[in-house]
Amino acid sequence: MSLERLEFKTEVQQLLDLMIHSLYSHKEVFLRELISNASDAIDRARYESLTNSAVLENESGWKIKITADRGRGTLTISDNGIGMTKEEIVEALGTIAHSGTKEFLAALQSKAIKDNPELIGQFGVGFYSSFMVADKITVFSRRAGQQGAGGVKWESTGDGSFTVEDVEKERRGTDVILEIREEEKKYLDEWQIRSIIKKYSDFIEHPIVMDVEKEQDSALKKGEKVTIKEEETLNSMKAIWLRDRSEVPEEEYNQFYQHISHDSANPAKVIHYKAEGTSEFTALLYIPSHAPYDILFRDYKIGPTLYVKRVQIMDHCEELIPHYLRFVKGVVDSADLPLNVSREILQHNRQVEIIRTNITKKVLDTLGDMKKEQYGDYIKVYNEFGRVLKEGLHYDFTRREAIADLFLFPSTKTEEGVLRSLDDYINDMEAQQEAIYYITGTSLAEALHSPYLETFRGKGYEVLVMLDDIDDLVLSGFEYKGKRLKSITKGDIDLDKTDKTEKETAKKQYAELMDLMKDTLKDDVKDVRLSGRLTDSACCLVADEGDLDPQVEKLLKAMGQEVPLKKRILEINPSHPLFAAMKAVFEKDAKSNTLPDFIKLLYDQALILEGSKPKDPAAFSKTIAKLMAENIGKESS
C-alpha cells in the first residue's frame, strides 16, 4: 500500500514547536508519558478481553518492553495492548482532540510550565513530548484481535507532517521507536532508564521489562564468568492501595498521587481506608493542594479510577463521587462489582451507590476534621476548592448542613485574611438578630466600602462577605441552624422593628416628594421607598427579594444565558438633610425646575455608590458643574 503524507493540524505543530523549544529541563518525562500510554492501552485490551477473548490472540501476559539500542541510537517502547487502526492513529497522533488545547498553548508560553513541565501531563498531550529527545518517531501498531490485517506504520520528524503506511505487524499492540537526538543519548543508558522508571512509573500495574546484561558463573568452565542477557522487570507494580496504611510511607503516597494526577505538587490530604460490611472496597483518595486549570470547565473529567479486584475497569468513574467533590483524585477497588461492569450498569448499581455515599461522607468528614485540627492547611484547600464545594449546597440536599459547615467567609467583624464560618457567626450574633446577613461583591475592598453596610455597622451586626460567583445562587434563603441567610442588598431591610411609627410618619411626610421621584425616574427604577439600611449616605439602589444578584447575573451571562433587564428600587435615607431641603423646595414650588435635576443626580449617585457608571455621564457632570457654580456664586456674594 502506498505511503500517505499528512499535515499535522495547526495546533499540533504549534504545540510541537513550543515543546521542542521551550522545555529544556525535565525532558525525561517523555518516558513516563509513553509508558502511561502503553499501560492505558493494556488496560483497554484487558477490559475488552473480559467480554471478547479474541483480543488476546492466544497470547497471555501483559507487558511493556523497553529496548535501548545504542548502536542504532533508538529507544523502543512496546506494549501488547489494544493497538490502533490507521484511522485511529491518524486521529490520535495527528490532531489534538482536547478542548483544553488552547489553554494549554497559552499556558505553555507561561513561566509556570517552563518551570514545571510535569504540568504537561495535565493537558493530555504526552506523546508529543518525545520530540524533546527524538529527531524522528516511528510507531508500529496493530489493533488487538485483528491478526493478519490492519497493521500501520506512522512516522514523523515533527516538522509539520507525518506519514502513514499499511504494514504487517505480527503481534498486537504498539511499538514506539524514538531516534534519540545526538545530545540526548544518555536516555539510552540502562541506569538512566531504570531511575526514570523507578521515579515516575513504579506503580504502573503491568510489568515494565528490559533486557539487561548480567554476569553469571559459566556452566562450561568453573571459576569463569559469562555475560548473559536477561529480561528484568524494572517496576515494583505494587498496588499501594491494598497495603496497610501503616506500611506506606508518606513519600510513596505522594509519588502515587503524582502518578495518577499528573500534578507535580504533593496532595494536601491522603484518605486511605478499607470498607467492610454491606460493601467491601478499598479507597485511596487524595485532596489535592491546588485546583487544576480546568476544574470549572464543562468537560472536566471527574471521579477516581475504578478497579474490581485489582483489575482496572475505568479511568474516571464519575458515578463514584458527587460533582461537587470532583477535585478528589484516587483509586477505588471494589470486591463486589462484576468484572465486566459497564457504564450503564454503574449508573443503577446498588453497590456503586453505597460506595458513593460512603466516599462522600468520608471526604466531607475529612475536610471537617482538617478544619478543626489543621486549620492552616484547610484554608489553603478551601481557597482552592471552596467554590466547587459550594455547588453541593444546591445539589446534595441531604448533606446541606455538613457542607455549609465547611464554608468560610471574610466578614465585617474580622481583619483582612481572617475568615469566619457560619457557626462562628451564629455563636456571636446579637440576641435580637433574625438572619445571617451577607453582602456579595467582586472584591473584598469594594464590598467593605458599600453604603449598604451602614446600619449594620451602626447596630454592631456582622455581615459576611461573599465573593464567589455562585454564592448568592446557592446561599440565598438557605437556613443554617434555624437562621436564614439574607443578602443585605436585596429586599426590604428593617432592623428596627420598634421604630415603626417613626417610619410611618416619615413615609407620610415624604409621600408627595417620593411620588415626584417615582415619576421622574420611571424609566430607571421600579419604586422609590424609605431605606432601613442607610445612616450616612443619602440613597442606594436595591434589588427586590427574588431578583438576581449582580454576581449571579454575570455568571449566567458568562454561561450564555439571557438575563432580562430588571429595574431596581431606589431607597432614600429620610434622616439625610438633603431630603428636608428638597421637601422645602417642593412645598414652595412643586414644579421647580431644579427638583428633577436633583432627583436624576440622586439616582446617578446611587449608581456610583455601587460601583456602576452614571446613566449619562455627560449630563451628570454638567448638572454637578452647574450646581457648583451656583453655590460658589452664593458664597462669594
Dihedral in degrees, nearest 10, Cα atoms 34, 37, 41, 44:
160
CB of 20 to ligand ADP, least distance (A): 15
What residues numbered 250-269 form the site for ligand ADP, per CB under 6 A? none
314 counts as binding ligand ADP under rule CB under 6 A: no
CB of 139 to ligand ADP, least distance (A): 8
Cα distance between residue 591 and residue 434, in whole Å: 43
Amino acid letter, residue 429: M
92 counts as binding ligand ADP under rule CB under 6 A: yes
β-strands 161-167, 269-275 pairing? unpaired
Element (DSSP H or E) covering residue 588:
helix 577-588
Closest CB to ligand ADP among 82 and 419? 82
**Per-residue string for binding with ligand ADP, 158-187, x by CB under 6 A?**
----------------x-------------
Cα distance between residue 386 and residue 219, in whole Å: 67
Cα distance between residue 161 and residue 94, in whole Å: 9
In which residue are the cell numbers 445571617 written? 436
Whether 607 contacts 614, CB under 8 Å: yes
Q: Helix, strand, or coil here: 625?
A: helix
CB of 33 to ligand ADP, least distance (A): 6
Closest CB to ligand ADP among 154 and 603? 154
* 493-521 CB burial, b ≥16 within 10 A, e <16: bebeeeeeeeeeebeeebeebbebbbebb
**Per-residue string for binding with ligand ADP, 62-91, x by CB under 6 A?**
-----------------x-xxxx-------
CB of 537 to ligand ADP, least distance (A): 55
CB of 181 to ligand ADP, least distance (A): 20
In which residue are the cell numbers 462489582 written? 337
Closest CB to ligand ADP among 301 and 507? 301
Closest CB to ligand ADP among 48 and 424? 48
Cα distance between residue 221 and residue 637, in whole Å: 125
118 counts as binding ligand ADP under rule CB under 6 A: no
What residues numbered 17-36 form the site for ligand ADP, per CB under 6 A? 33
12 counts as binding ligand ADP under rule CB under 6 A: no
Would you tell me how many other CB atoms lie within 10 Å of the CB of residue 560?
6
Please pick, from the candidates 16, 38, 370, 517, the single residue that binds ligand ADP as defined by CB under 6 A: 38
Cα distance between residue 634 and residue 579, in whole Å: 21
What residues numbered 414-443 form the site for ligand ADP, per CB under 6 A? none
CB of 257 to ligand ADP, least distance (A): 18
CB of 462 to ligand ADP, least distance (A): 48
Whether 339 contacts 358, CB under 8 Å: no
Which range touches ligand ADP (CB under 6 A), out of 37-45, 327-335, 447-455, 583-591? 37-45
Count of residues that interact with ligand ADP, criterion CB under 6 A: 16
Residue 51 Cα distances to 48, 58, 144, 309, angstroms: 6, 15, 13, 17
What residues numbered 121-150 form the site for ligand ADP, per CB under 6 A? 124-127
Which residue ranges make up the site for ligand ADP (CB under 6 A)?
A: 33, 37-38, 41, 79, 81-84, 92-93, 124-127, 174
